[in-house]
Amino acid sequence: MKPLGPIPPGFGMIEGQLAIGGRKVRELVAEAGMTPLFVYSADRIRRRVTDLLHTMPSTVALHYAVKANPYTPILNLMSELVDGFDIASGGELIMALSAGLDPSRISFAGPGKRIDEIEAAITAGVTLNLESEGEAVRALEAGERLGITPRLAIRVNPPFDLKGSGMKMGGGAKPFGVDAERVPAMARAVIASGAEWRGFHIFAGSQALSTPAIIEAQEQAMALAAQLAEQSGAALPHCNLGGGFGIPYFPGDEPLDIAAIGAALGEALERRAPALQDTQFCLELGRYLVGEAGVYLTEIVDRKRSHEELFLVVDGGLHHQLAASGNFGTVVRRNYPVAIATRMDKPADEVANVVGCLCTPLDRLAEKGQFPHADVGDLVAVFCAGAYGASASPAQFLGHGPAAEMLV
Ligand SMILES: *Cc1c(COP(=O)(O)O)cnc(C)c1O
């Protein structure tokens, strides 16, 4: 037997069924007309953002990283809740603009921006987080061609990473951002060009569950911003301190202590360097805001045995849930939180593998988990499915097509 990840708090049970947003899973599937189905709880997202805003210093803005979940109804909801959007492609730019967010509150990071993406961002008035000196030249040339002053920030490749993070995006040679020691010269050139100077973007990693590591990375980012601002010889209007707040996916994972992070950030702001006195700071978070609000529902289509093991075969799989299958940024496969959503009131009395319908041994949603007895027609819930699910999985692989999505 292998343990399952922790089911996030805030879901209910009605008549033995998992309830999301106060509605039974059978009812949600009937409304969608199909499985597999991602259900996102608007209430959970709203509460998560509100709780976070209560603990973070009020002067720090909150941005949503669209790549975590670009589902349009979620962007519409987020546009009421957060101060800005961070996007990472021209496609996300279109989605963010159609959600109605003020372009002056959108910033665009990501290595390898094409000319058409740079032009679209400048035309819209979105801030470009420049990833290289070459990109700065292309952005300035595009601004000249378009007759529009580009809004430019520099993404810094910090000399530190976010310790314990699932995906390290700083420290050493990286495709992201500009090495810190080259930033002051580049900042001076961007400012001298007449572009609108928007400051620094410092993103050191993702999916960290260590509270001290996040506090340390934020302090390091502020110290680096102060040093680079002084060396650039100009005031720093904005500074994106990154994010990296993780959520518990696996057995033994503990949630972050957000109150401690907020308090430490408040103290760091109090004693910030003179170069940062008038800087507007922001945090950019993706999965922390939406990850635990989503559930992936998939129906059992076969129940079979092989040697001593029981297999529950579902109509979904890694083509929608690459991360839960253990094939997206993990080294050792561990179980996500998974449950039989139509038997929430029954004792877990058998050990089963929940496998997807793809013809590959990689397609496992739960390995040797302890579940209540389940049959063909029962629904399986994979939790923590609100981020990097539908949009971060190979939906075309094996031709099953995309899952349905629903915000309730
Ligand atoms: C991926 C990414 C994020 C979001 O990361 P989460 O782990 O979802 O919070 C934020 N900013 C940048 C630059 C990213 O690349």
> What is the spatial distance between Cα 395 and Cα 296, in angstroms, rounded to a whole number?
14
Phi, psi of 312 (to 5 degrees): -100, 115
HEC letters along 240-264:
EEEECECCCCCCCCCCCCHHHHHHH
Q: Please, what is the angle between helix 183-192 and helix 133-146, to 10°? A: 10
Alpha helix locations (H) across 125-244? 133-146, 183-192, 211-232
Which of 273, 254, 270 is closest to 262 using CA atoms? 270
> How high is the pLDDT of residue 21?
95
Judge: domain 12-40+291-407, CATH 3.40.630.30.
no
> What is the amino acid identity at position 63?
H
> How high is the pLDDT of residue 248?
97
Q: Which residues line ligand 1 (CB under 6 A)?
A: 65, 67-68, 86, 109, 203, 206-207, 243, 284-288, 387
> How high is the pLDDT of residue 164?
76
> How high is the pLDDT of residue 379?
98
Which ligand 1 atom minimizes the distance to the CA of 68? 8
> How high is the pLDDT of residue 332?
85
Instruction: Please give the model's pTM, rounded to 2 decimal places.
Output: 0.96
For residue 345, count CB atoms less than 10 angstroms from its CB and return exposed for 0-12, middle for 13-18, buried for 19 or more. exposed
Which ligand 1 atom minimizes the distance to the CA of 167? 7
Task: Report domain extents, the chain.
Answer: 12-40+291-407, 70-285
% pLDDT > 90, the chain: 93
Judge: domain 70-285, CATH 3.30.450.40.
no
CB-hemisphere CA count at 13 Å for 203?
30
Which ligand 1 atom minimizes the distance to the CA of 155? 13
Q: Using the mean position of ligand 1's atoms as its centre, give its distance from the Cα of residue 176 in Å.
A: 12
Phi, psi of 17 (to 5 degrees): -100, 145
Which of 330, 324, 385 is closest to 356 using CA atoms? 324
Q: Using the mean position of ligand 1's atoms as its centre, give its distance from the Cα of residue 294 in Å.
A: 18
The residue whose CA is least distant from atom 4 of ligand 1 is 286
The residue whose CA is least distant from atom 14 of ligand 1 is 65
CA 293 distance to own-chain centroid? 12
Q: Using the mean position of ligand 1's atoms as its centre, give its distance from the Cα of residue 166 in Å.
A: 11
The residue whose CA is least distant from atom 7 of ligand 1 is 206
Both structure tokens of 325: 């299958």
DSSP states of 270-330 as a string? HT--GGGTTPEEEEEESHHHHGGGEEEEEEEEEEEEETTEEEEEES--TTT-TTTTT-SS-
Which of 158, 243, 161, 232 is closest to 199 using CA atoms? 232
Which ligand 1 atom minimizes the distance to the CA of 109? 13
Q: Using the mean position of ligand 1's atoms as its centre, give its distance from the Cα of residue 326 in Å.
A: 19
Instruction: List, for the chain, all residue ranges whose pLDDT scores fall below the cut of 70.
Output: 168-170
